[in-house]
């Protein structure tokens, strides 16, 4: 394989993103799949069935595809040029088709099956046994107990699903909408928010995160909030609802073909939860636990609305909730977001994260003087081990919003890490965010919620960066889905430790350290709305799980009917007619029958954090043990065993419930 193409690079050489063109994407796809075909052909010549001659080459084959597929996937969501994004989306379809075909190749399956019955396979332990077991289960789930006709049908279903989800995500990313307001209709909005959106005498508020969420939180204009809320909750409507119908039908067809009652039964087979019954019990028990706290939260919103309007409030609408909650924070707890964000200049926050990682996890972050990135504002960093100086990995930061860019925050893996003939290939990843851009008068100042988002995504990044897995299949965040959110939610906790916060939270103009009195008020207000917020998470999880476990696609009920039924049952808000949040609920693609995993994983995250609380948030020995026991293994071990090993006991939900204030 030649290396002139930016994607086709040697081990541990970064992608030359700056050189990427639509043509180089197409060439990379062609040459990568040619190389993969060559590796598959060599695999089939295997003589002597051993782990190193069967499963190691199989993992290498997948690595060959993913080390190009992953960067292409990132650029489909972030590249500023439409031609490159389109080429990447086309490439994603091609790669997905190839991977779906690879998963059902009978010639490769026969080699693995033959190996699985050997004495060498019987003697496997640790990650090697885990990889064999998961590979064999994967072939079962790929349809190898079906006849050739049904297996071909299954392949076509998977290909169709990939295309449908890609279209769903594209429609969401490209959905547009906005409201234009006169300056006199902008009471409550911060001046920097108004100033950055002023054009031709109007204030334009669009549906991107840095625009939508602050508006809903600060605007006193109830009619404008409702208007924007409806637009936001109708992104990609109606196109994505028909796509969703097709997706659900295809998933149910897939499950039925493989002999599972529902898609949820299929999806849960290889997760921690294990069965739909376990998920329903988790959701239902938690809903009961937080119900009284949620009602108290709702009453607090009613009281604030009554106080502000002078009229007893019987109900609170969804587009009022964020604004009323912020009024309570300001009036009852004296927490003003505009005051708080003066202490969270973006670069200082990043420096704080780097200090936490250095002190607790023994990691050093160095910004690259020379970089090759897909957009000029993107930054590039290397990660090294503090004690040995060993380079651990590489990551990119794409921090600010722009047109046609992925509109939320996420960690995109680029290279998973793993052993190769040329040595260990270090992981690479990108953090894609949408924080406020600096202006002429001030730097990028982050709301506390923005800082929390950055810490969350950095937890994912760390999970990917410090992997020591020999196999790419288990590297970094390649863990069971209902554990993947544990490190990210764990890392958020550092924000609520005052000594840690003082490392970096300083007023951007005066340099004053974040006041302890303000911190204490933030902590006091931490559980404001926690019951309703948890109900919201339970609703998302229940909606997702209902569609995949208790809903008949193509029947008399529609997905909107399910939304209409579940919203008032699970939350304290009625369904708002004419709203279709599920048309842009992207987790229905990536987390199918899996949204419950956020709360599921948080139980483990808070239990792990309880150890840090006792030892000290930045205790070096505890941090190093967390890195070695929880992060570095990736998917090489059962995550429940990792948690037990770190805790020295069985996990329990006590810290999680205490964190919710229930």
pLDDT in tens, 472-509: 999 999 999 999 999 999 999 999 999 999 999 999 99
| pLDDT band at 2; cut points 50, 70, 90 | very low
**What is the rounded average pLDDT of the residues 86-109?**
94
Burial 596-630 (b: 16+ CB within 10 A, else e): bbbbbbbbbbbbbbbbbeeeebbbeebbeebbbbb
Backbone angles phi, psi at 379, to 5 degrees: -110, 155
- pLDDT mean over 331-342: 94
Q: Within 13 Å and on the Cβ side, how many CA atoms surround 423?
A: 8
Q: 383: closest CA among 414, 413, 412, 358?
A: 358
CATH class of 342-526+599-660: mainly alpha
Q: How far apart are the first and last CA of the chain?
A: 58
Domain 17-103+105-141 maps to which CATH number in 3.40.30.10, 1.10.8.100, 3.40.50.720, 1.20.1050.40?
Answer: 1.20.1050.40
pLDDT of residue 196: 87
The Cα–Cα gap between 287 and 472 comes to 38
Element (H, E) at 429: strand 428-432
Residue 270 has pLDDT above 70, yes or no: yes
Mean pLDDT for 547-572 is: 97
Helix, strand, or coil (residue 176): coil
Quick check: 424 and 417 in contact, CB under 8 A? yes
Give the whole-angstrom CA distance, residue 272 versus residue 637.
12
- Each residue's pLDDT tens digit, 20-50: 999 999 999 999 999 999 999 999 998 899 9
CA distance 242 to 220: 36
Q: Are both 17-103+105-141 and 239-332+529-595 of the same fold?
A: no
* pLDDT given for residue 344 in this prediction: 98
Using alpha carbons, select from 233, 182, 192, 191 the residue that is nearest to residue 212. 233
Neighbouring residues of 443: CB distance < 8 A, sequence distance ≥ 6: 345, 346, 347, 508
pLDDT in tens, 530-540: 999 999 999 99
Beta-sheet pairing, 423-425 with 410-415: unpaired
Closest CA to 232 of 220, 242, 224, 243: 224
Percent of the chain with pLDDT over 90: 94
H or E stretch at 632: none
589-645 pLDDT per residue, tens: 989 999 999 999 999 999 999 999 999 999 999 999 999 999 999 999 999 999 999
Cα 401 from Cα 239, distance rounded (Å): 24
For residue 357, give the H/E element and its range. Answer: none
- DSSP H helices, 79-125, are 82-103, 106-116, 119-122
Up-side HSE of residue 647: CA atoms within 13 Å toward CB? 20
Other Cβ atoms closer than 10 A to 223: 11
Q: Choose among 243, 246, 283, 250: nearest CA to 266.
A: 250
Q: How confident is the model at residue 58 (pLDDT cuts 50, 70, 90)?
A: very high
pLDDT at 124 over 60: yes
What pLDDT sits at residue 192?
A: 85
In order, the DSSP letters of 519-570 are HHHHHHTTTTTHHHHHHHHHHHHHHHHHHHHS--TTSSS-HHHHHHHHHHHH
The domains of the chain are located at 17-103+105-141, 176-232, 239-332+529-595, 342-526+599-660
Which pLDDT belongs to residue 454? 98
**Could you give the CA distance from residue 282 to residue 272 in angstroms, rounded to a whole number?**
12
pLDDT for res 203: 97
- pLDDT of 395: 96
Asked if 460 and 490 count as a contact pair (C-beta separation under 8 A), the reply is no
Q: Can you read off the two tokens belonging to residue 492?
A: 């958020």
- Is the confidence at residue 1, as pLDDT, over 60? no
Residue 411 sits at the vertex; the CA angle it makes with 100 and 459, to the nearest 5 degrees, is: 125
Active-site choice (457, 492, 565, 577): 457
3-state secondary structure of 267: helix
Read off the pLDDT of residues 298-334 as tens digits, 9 standing for 90 and up. Answer: 999 999 999 999 999 999 999 999 999 999 999 999 9
Those residues with Cβ within 8 angstroms of residue 456's Cβ, 6 or more apart along the chain or in another chain: 409, 488, 489, 491, 492
Q: Would you say 358 and 392 are in contact if contact means Cβ atoms under 8 Å apart?
A: no
Please give the mean pLDDT across all residues of the chain. Answer: 96
The rounded distance, in Å, linking the Cα atoms of 271 and 154 is 22
Q: Is the pLDDT of residue 134 over 50?
A: yes
Q: Which two tokens stand for residue 390?
A: 């060993």
577 catalytic residue (yes or no): no
Give the pLDDT confidence score for residue 148 in this predicted structure.
87
Cα–Cα distance measured from residue 561 to residue 559, given in angstroms and rounded to the nearest whole number:
5
Q: What is the 3-state secondary structure (H, E, C) of 384-399?
A: EECCCCCEEEEEEEEC
Q: What is the DSSP string of 184-230?
A: GG-TT--HHHHHTTEETTEEEEESSHHHHHHHHHH---HHHHHHHHH
Cα–Cα distance measured from residue 517 to residue 538, given in angstroms and rounded to the nearest whole number = 33
129-134's contacts with Cβ under 8 Å and 24+ in sequence apart are 130/474, 130/635, 130/636, 130/637, 130/638, 131/55, 131/59, 131/471, 131/473, 131/474, 132/51, 132/55, 134/270, 134/473
Residue from 491, 455, 109 nearest 446 by CA:
455
DSSP code string of 467-530 = ---SSGGGSTT-S-GGGTTHHHHHHGGGGG-HHHHTTT-B-TTT-PBPPHHHHHHHHHTTTTTH
- pLDDT band of residue 242 (cuts 50, 70, 90) is very high
What DSSP element (H or E) covers 410?
strand 410-415
Residue pair 350/366 in contact by the 8 Å Cβ criterion: no
Q: How far is CA 372 from CA 76, 396, 500, in A?
A: 17, 10, 33
pLDDT at position 164 is 97
Say what the pLDDT of residue 392 is: 97
Confirm if 217 and 337 have CB atoms less than 8 A apart: yes
Cα-based distances in Å from 648 to 312, 608, 641, 644, 645 = 52, 11, 10, 6, 5
The confidence score (pLDDT) of residue 268 equals 97
Quote the pLDDT of residue 522: 95
Dig out the tokens for 542 from the structure.
Answer: 């229940």
Cis before 238 (ω within 30):
yes
Element (H, E) at 425: strand 423-425
d(CA 537, CA 591): 14
- Residue 3 has a pLDDT of 61
Query: Please, which residues have CB within 8 angstroms of residue 251's CB and are 6 or more apart in sequence?
Result: 161, 263, 548, 553, 592
**Mean pLDDT throughout 211-215?**
93
- Average pLDDT (555-569) is 97
The answer to whether residues 366 and 400 touch, using CB atoms and an 8 Å cutoff, is no
pLDDT score, position 440: 87
> 168, exposed or middle or buried, with CB in 10 Å at 0-12, 13-18, 19+?
buried
Contact 172, 166 (CB under 8 A): no
Query: Do residues 448 and 337 make contact, with C-beta atoms less than 8 angstroms apart?
Result: yes
CATH code for the part of the protein at 239-332+529-595: 1.10.1370.10
Q: Give dist(CA 472, CA 521) in Å, integer.
A: 45
Residues 383 and 395 sit within 8 Å (Cβ to Cβ): yes
């Amino acid at each position: 394989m030649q290396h002139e193409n930016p994607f086709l690079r040697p081990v541990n050489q970064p992608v030359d993103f700056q050189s990427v063109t639509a043509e180089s994407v197409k060439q990379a796809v062609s040459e990568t799949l040619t190389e993969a075909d060559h590796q598959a052909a060599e695999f089939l010549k295997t003589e002597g069935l051993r782990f190193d001659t069967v499963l190691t080459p199989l993992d290498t084959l997948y690595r060959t595809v993913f080390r190009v597929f992953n960067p292409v996937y990132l650029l489909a969501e972030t590249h500023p040029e439409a031609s490159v994004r389109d080429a990447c989306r086309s490439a994603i379809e091609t790669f997905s088709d190839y991977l779906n075909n690879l998963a059902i190749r009978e010639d490769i399956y026969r080699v693995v099956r033959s190996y699985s019955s050997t004495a060498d396979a019987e003697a496997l332990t640790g990650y090697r046994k885990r990889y064999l077991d998961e590979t064999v289960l994967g072939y079962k789930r790929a349809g190898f107990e079906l006849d050739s006709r049904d297996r071909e049908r299954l392949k076509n279903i998977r290909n169709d699903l990939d295309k449908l989800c890609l279209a769903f995500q594209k429609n969401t990313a490209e959905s547009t909408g906005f409201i234009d307001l006169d300056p006199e209709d902008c009471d409550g909005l911060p001046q920097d928010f108004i100033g950055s959106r002023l054009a031709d005498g109007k204030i334009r508020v669009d549906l991107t995160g840095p625009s939508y969420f602050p508006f809903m939180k600060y605007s006193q204009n109830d009619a404008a909030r409702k208007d924007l809320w409806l637009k936001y909750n109708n992104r990609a409507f109606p196109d994505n609802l028909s796509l969703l119908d097709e997706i659900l039908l295809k998933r149910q067809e897939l499950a039925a073909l493989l002999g599972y009652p529902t898609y949820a039964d299929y999806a849960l087979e290889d997760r921690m939860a294990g069965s739909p019954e376990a998920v329903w019990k988790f959701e239902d028990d938690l809903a009961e636990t937080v119900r009284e706290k949620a009602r108290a939260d709702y009453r607090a919103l009613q009281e604030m609305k009554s106080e502000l309007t002078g009229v007893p409030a019987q109900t609170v609408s969804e587009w009022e909730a964020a604004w009323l909650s912020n009024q309570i924070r300001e009036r009852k707890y004296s927490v003003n977001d505009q005051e708080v964000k003066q202490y969270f200049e973006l670069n200082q926050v990043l420096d704080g994260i780097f200090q936490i990682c250095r002190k607790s996890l023994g990691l050093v972050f160095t910004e690259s003087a020379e970089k090759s990135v897909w957009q000029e504002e993107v930054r590039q960093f290397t990660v090294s081990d503090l004690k040995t100086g060993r380079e651990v990995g590489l990551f990119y930061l794409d921090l600010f919003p722009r047109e046609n860019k992925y509109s939320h925050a996420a960690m995109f893996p680029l290279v998973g890490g793993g052993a190769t003939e040329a040595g260990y290939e270090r992981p690479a990843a990108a953090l894609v965010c949408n924080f406020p851009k600096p202006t002429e008068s001030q730097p990028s100042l982050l709301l506390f919620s923005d800082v929390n988002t950055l810490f969350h995504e950095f937890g994912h990044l760390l999970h990917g960066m410090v992997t020591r897995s020999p196999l790419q299949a288990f590297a970094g965040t390649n863990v069971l889905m209902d554990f993947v959110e544990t490190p990210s939610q764990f890392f958020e906790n550092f924000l609520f430790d005052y000594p840690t916060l003082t490392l970096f939270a300083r007023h951007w103009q005066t340099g004053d350290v974040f006041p302890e009195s303000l911190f204490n008020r933030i902590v006091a207000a931490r559980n404001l709305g926690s019951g309703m917020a948890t109900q919201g998470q339970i609703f998302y999880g229940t909606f997702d799980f209902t569609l995949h476990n208790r809903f008949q696609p193509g029947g008399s009920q529609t997905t909107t009917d399910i939304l209409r039924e579940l919203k008032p049952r699970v939350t304290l808000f009625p369904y708002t007619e004419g709203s279709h949040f599920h048309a842009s609920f992207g987790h229905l693609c990536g987390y199918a029958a899996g949204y419950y995993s956020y709360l599921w994983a948080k139980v483990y995250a808070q239990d792990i954090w309880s150890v840090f609380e006792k030892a000290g948030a930045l205790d070096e020995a505890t941090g190093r043990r967390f890195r070695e026991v929880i992060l570095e293994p990736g998917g090489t071990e059962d995550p429940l065993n990792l948690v037990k090993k770190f805790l020295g006991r069985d996990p329990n939900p006590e810290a999680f419930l205490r964190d919710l204030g229930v």
